[in-house]
Structure 1
Amino acid sequence: MNKADALNLIEKLAEPAALTLPSDACLGHHAEDGTYAHLVLSGLAMRCQYTQDGERQVCRVYRPGDLIGLEMLAVSTPSLMIETIAPSVIKRIAIKRLRIAQQNDPRMQSAVMSLLASEVMDGQQLKISFGTGSAMRRICRFLLWAANKDEVALPNREKLGSIIATTTETASRMIADLKRQGVISKNPVFGCRVQINREKLCERAGNLCEQSAA
């Protein structure tokens, strides 16, 4: 079963009302953390943890069409936090309901296995895209990956730095450089969004461009 068919099947189990969340919102809290999986309809989210000294460590970023938290079918205690990094619309899928459907419907079991395999492969690809090469290449790959119709909801500089494993100062300087070079430009209506020049970004992203671009 391909990813699109698997997502369509699992989305039928979602709660009818979607959640509309601002940037920097947490998905679930305390006892609710392992109660739901979350399907991203629009926006961006990340999975991370914070060290004792407050350092943010990002392990995964999600865009529309990604399902967050499917591993809660097998584990009882979530180990990482989920935060939005742009205004997002998300549907919740009760883990209990998903577990029952998985047990009773072979197609649902196939969908779950397909999405778990996709999560492993997607996570590996993002680790390569956002974790290798120069900081400029990494930030260009992120912008390409996160773009929807050549527009990106830009995370704040602290979270952007965490995503591509660089300092906030470096992330801020690179965004300013890309604007100055005409690679990205501010949306005249929504200040947190930028328009991308895909061709120029690909030139700076290196040979992973095609694998990273949305």
Structure 2
Amino acid sequence: MSDSLGLVGVRMHFAPGEEICAQDEDADYVYRLIDGAVRTTRLLSDGRRQVGEFYYPGDLFGLESGDRHRFSAEALGACEVLMVKRVSPSRTGADRDRFERAVWAGTTTELQRAQEHMMLLSRTTAIEKVASFLLHVVGRDRAETATLPMTRQDMGDYLGLTIETVSRMLGRLQADGIVEFAGCRHFRVRQHIALSRLAVA
């Protein structure tokens, strides 16, 4: 089955928390997220978990320069994924060109994300990191109201903060009237300028 980019693969459904690919597993496939959200994680040698990135519909993930996956990928909620073979003898002509263009675009996007993540981690204070993260989410959704498909622990492991610090910073932003949460996963930016100033303080 093909998708909107013309990529040909197998559509698979994954339940919340289900593993899509495992760290150090053979990287036989690349993945295009059709619906839902995915996180990539890596277990470090000291037992800590690092969240590499969050992916949303239309994103490619599982792109590797080597033969094995450096990160595991897990469904944050129910999701649908197109699994595309990295190497396929039947991929010729236009199909091969579409695949190569998609991989090139995906690799470029991954590099940009890695650079943005490094910049985010380099921010000095916890409030800067959390404010920057929320601005990124709002910018992705292109709306003043946005959804956080990840947990507070996921955010902490992505930002290099503890779950307690993430929760405290989110509570501070809400208490100051800068953001307003409806439950744990949905929020609205009430003072965009104030949030932007905190992100670059």
1:37–1:95 contact (8 Å) kept in structure 2 = yes
- Give the distance between the partners of 1:98 and 1:206, measured in 2 at CA: 46
CA distance 1:61–1:13, shift in 2 (3 Å): same
- Sequence identity, in percent? 23
- Give the distance between the partners of 1:142 and 1:43, measured in 2 at CA: 19
Determine the structure 2 residue equivalent to 1:121: 112
2:26–2:67 contact (8 Å) kept in structure 1 = no
- Give the distance between the partners of 1:33 and 1:201, measured in 2 at CA: 42
Q: Deviations over 1:4-32 (max 9, x none)?
A: xxx8425x3142x452532x332234897
Once the two structures are TM-superposed, the CA of residue 38 in structure 1 deviates from its matched residue by 2.1
Whether 1:193 and 2:185 are equivalent positions in the alignment is: yes
Residues 3-42 of structure 1: matches in 2 within 5 Å?
Answer: 8-10=4-6, 12-15=7-10, 17-22=11-16, 24-29=17-22, 34-42=27-35
- Give the distance between the partners of 1:153 and 1:54, measured in 2 at CA: 26
| 3-state secondary structure, aligned to 1:101 | coil
Report the aligned-residue RMSD. 3.1
| 3-state secondary structure, aligned to 1:54 | coil
Q: Deviations over 1:72-131 (max 9, x none)?
A: xx53222221234x4252322222466753776334323322322222122212321344
Determine the structure 1 residue equivalent to 2:199: 205
2:35–2:80 contact (8 Å) kept in structure 1 = yes
Structure 1 counterpart of 2:173, from 178, 189, 194: 178
Q: Which has the higher strand share?
A: 2
- Give the distance between the partners of 2:36 and 2:198, measured in 1 at CA: 24
Determine the structure 2 residue equivalent to 1:4: none
Once the two structures are TM-superposed, the CA of residue 178 in structure 1 deviates from its matched residue by 1.6
Determine the structure 2 residue equivalent to 1:45: 38
AA at the equivalent of 2:127: M
AA at the equivalent of 1:21: A
AA at the equivalent of 1:9: L
Structure 2 counterpart of 1:155, from 106, 130, 150: 150
- Give the distance between the partners of 1:33 and 1:180, measured in 2 at CA: 47
TM-score (normalised: structure 2)? 0.76
CA distance 1:78–1:183, shift in 2 (3 Å): same
1:63–1:146 contact (8 Å) kept in structure 2 = no
Whether 1:77 and 2:73 are equivalent positions in the alignment is: no
Determine the structure 2 residue equivalent to 1:60: 53
1:39–1:91 contact (8 Å) kept in structure 2 = yes
**Unpaired segments of 5 or more residues in structure 2?**
none
CA distance 1:31–1:50, shift in 2 (3 Å): closer
Q: Which has the higher helix share?
A: 1
AA at the equivalent of 1:196: R
- Give the distance between the partners of 1:135 and 1:99, measured in 2 at CA: 49
CA distance 1:167–1:106, shift in 2 (3 Å): same
- Give the distance between the partners of 1:141 and 1:43, measured in 2 at CA: 23
CA distance 1:105–1:44, shift in 2 (3 Å): closer
